[in-house]
């Protein structure tokens, strides 16, 4: 038992101090055989909050709130009996799992023994097919755990195990959903948003900030790169025929995002494109766009209908932000009818007349970086997000 002193007065920063203390303690005593330092407080864990948070942790098949008892059937029955008091259900089953094979009873024995006890106490019927209540029992070497029911987790892989990707985050509905799909497959996602400010108002930029913050709850730390794109677009307009502009903008976005990916040690770009959804998303145009990028361009929504994407966006709570009207930079200097088909030769010919490298550099020089954390514990309320230096 270790008590700390001044840390008790630290308020909002307390978790930061405690984590550091914990790490230092382990460092100091690990060699002598200490495996684990546990923070215990008188505060009761808030299951409703924990439950909500667990739903946004990837890599979980299911979870439940379990109670621990001594590895003994008498103790198990007493505790289950206690926990069931006041609960009404017509049918139930016991589903025991014996991870610790030396336990004297098999899982079948436990099912029968505990089942008979519960039946006698509650008069509920045993139903192995569709029970109203399932009592899970887990047998571990030093303890038994039981829980009622299980909740499905979000599945996927733990964020971080698949490496990093750079997500092109517009203010729209699709790209946040696309980013979320990659997080679910274990990627840490870096966000990049291109905005038309000061040529246009700052709404799209503000939306990107809010979206990045929302998505950070799945990966705990994020970077958002905000790249001013209006000036770049103005230079493209001077040298490019109107129908080709959207594809040229996209190729420039891709090139700038690729440079950011290289700085962030990310291995691929992610977009919210879906085949045929708009003029720039034909197979021909997708090919021309990705030709400008020297790394894979992942498009997790390529085969999704708008309706499916909208449903996911609602579930993610990004939808309400995405539908706020904004002035997307891609509407700047864009013709009413962009080309649905662009040939690479044609695009290259136009680009050869443009200072492409200079434009990419301009974006990189002018971009701003914001950092996000979830939960936002180490930032005092009202202070700006840490703006890091551009030379990351």
- Which residue in 173, 200, 297, 359 binds ligand ATP (CB under 6 A)? 173
Q: Taking CB within 5 to 8 Å according to partner kind, which of ligand ATP, Mg ion, none is near residue 193? A: ligand ATP
SS3 assignment, position 187: strand
Task: State yes or no: residue 273 binds ligand ATP (CB under 6 A).
Answer: yes
DSSP H or E run through 371: strand 368-373
Under the criterion CB under 6 A, does residue 194 sit at the interface with ligand ATP?
Answer: yes
In whole angstroms, give the CA distance from residue 126 to residue 39. 40
92 and 133 in contact (C-beta within 8 Å)?
A: yes
Can you point out the beta strands (E) in 210-275?
221-228, 269-270
Decide if residue 290 touches ligand ATP (CB under 6 A).
Answer: no
Interface residue with ligand ATP among 111, 216, 233, 280 (CB under 6 A) is 280
162 binds, among ligand ATP, Mg ion, none (CB under 5 to 8 A by kind): none
Q: Which of 220, 230, 189, 211 is nearest to 322 (CA)?
A: 211
In 234-341 the beta strands, taken as DSSP E runs, fall at 269-270, 297-298
| Tokens of residue 208, six digits | 């990107």
> CB 389 → ligand ATP: shortest distance, Å?
22
Tell me which residue has its CB nearest to Mg ion.
172
Choose, by CB under 6 A, the member of 114, 124, 135, 168 that binds ligand ATP: 168
Stretch that binds ligand ATP, among 132-140, 273-281, 364-372, 380-388 (CB under 6 A): 273-281
Q: Taking CB under 6 A as the rule, does residue 169 contact ligand ATP? A: yes
Compare residues 98 and 245 and give the one whose CB is closer to ligand ATP. Answer: 245
The residue ranges of DSSP E strands in 91-244, in sequence order, are 91-98, 125-126, 133-139, 144-148, 151-155, 163-168, 187-195, 221-228
| DSSP letters spanning 102-138 | TSSS-HHHHHHHHHHHHHHHH-PEE-SSS-SEEEEEE
- Tell which one of 215, 244, 330, 350 touches ligand ATP (CB under 6 A): 330
From CA 150, how far away is CA 158, in angstroms rounded?
20
Question: How many residues sit close enough to ligand ATP to count as binding (CB under 6 A)?
Answer: 21
Q: Which residues bind Mg ion (CB under 5 A)?
A: 170, 172
Establish if 172 lies at the interface with ligand ATP (CB under 6 A).
Answer: yes
Site of interaction with ligand ATP (CB under 6 A):
168-170, 172-175, 192-194, 253, 271-273, 277-278, 280-281, 328-330
């Amino acid at each position: 038992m270790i008590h700390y002193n001044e840390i008790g007065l630290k308020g909002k920063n307390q978790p930061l101090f405690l984590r550091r203390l914990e790490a230092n303690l382990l460092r100091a005593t690990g060699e002598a055989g200490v495996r684990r330092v546990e923070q215990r407080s008188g505060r009761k864990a808030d299951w409703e909050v924990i439950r909500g948070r667990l739903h946004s942790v990837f890599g979980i098949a299911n979870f439940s709130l379990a109670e621990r008892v001594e590895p003994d059937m008498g103790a198990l029955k007493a505790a289950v009996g206690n926990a069931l008091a006041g609960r009404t259900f017509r049918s139930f089953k016991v589903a025991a799992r014996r991870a610790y094979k030396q336990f004297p009873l098999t899982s079948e024995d436990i099912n029968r023994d505990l089942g008979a006890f519960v039946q006698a106490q509650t008069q509920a019927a045993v139903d192995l097919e569709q029970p109203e209540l399932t009592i899970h029992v887990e047998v571990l070497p030093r303890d038994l755990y039981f829980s009622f029911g299980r909740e499905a987790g979000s599945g996927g892989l733990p964020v971080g195990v698949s490496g990093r990707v750079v997500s092109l985050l517009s203010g729209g509905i699709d790209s946040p959903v696309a980013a979320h799909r990659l997080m679910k497959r274990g990627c840490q996602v870096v966000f990049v948003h291109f905005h038309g400010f000061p040529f246009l108002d700052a709404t799209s930029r503000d939306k990107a900030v809010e979206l990045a913050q929302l998505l950070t709850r799945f990966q705990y730390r994020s970077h958002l790169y905000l790249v001013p794109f209006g000036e770049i677009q103005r230079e493209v307009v001077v040298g490019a025929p109107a129908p080709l502009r959207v594809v040229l903008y996209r190729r420039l976005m891709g090139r700038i995002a690729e440079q950011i990916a290289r700085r962030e040690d990310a291995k691929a770009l992610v977009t919210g494109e879906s085949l045929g959804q708009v003029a720039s998303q034909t197979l021909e145009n997708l090919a021309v766009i990705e030709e400008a990028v020297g790394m894979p361009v992942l498009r997790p929504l390529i085969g999704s209908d708008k309706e499916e994407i909208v449903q996911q966006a609602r579930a993610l709570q990004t939808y309400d932000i995405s539908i706020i009207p904004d002035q997307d930079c891609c509407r700047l200097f864009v013709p009413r009818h962009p080309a649905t088909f662009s040939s690479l030769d044609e695009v290259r010919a136009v680009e050869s007349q443009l200072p492409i490298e200079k434009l990419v550099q301009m974006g990189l020089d002018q971009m701003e970086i914001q950092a996000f954390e979830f939960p936002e514990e180490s930032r005092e309320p009202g202070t700006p997000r840490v703006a890091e230096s551009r030379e990351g």
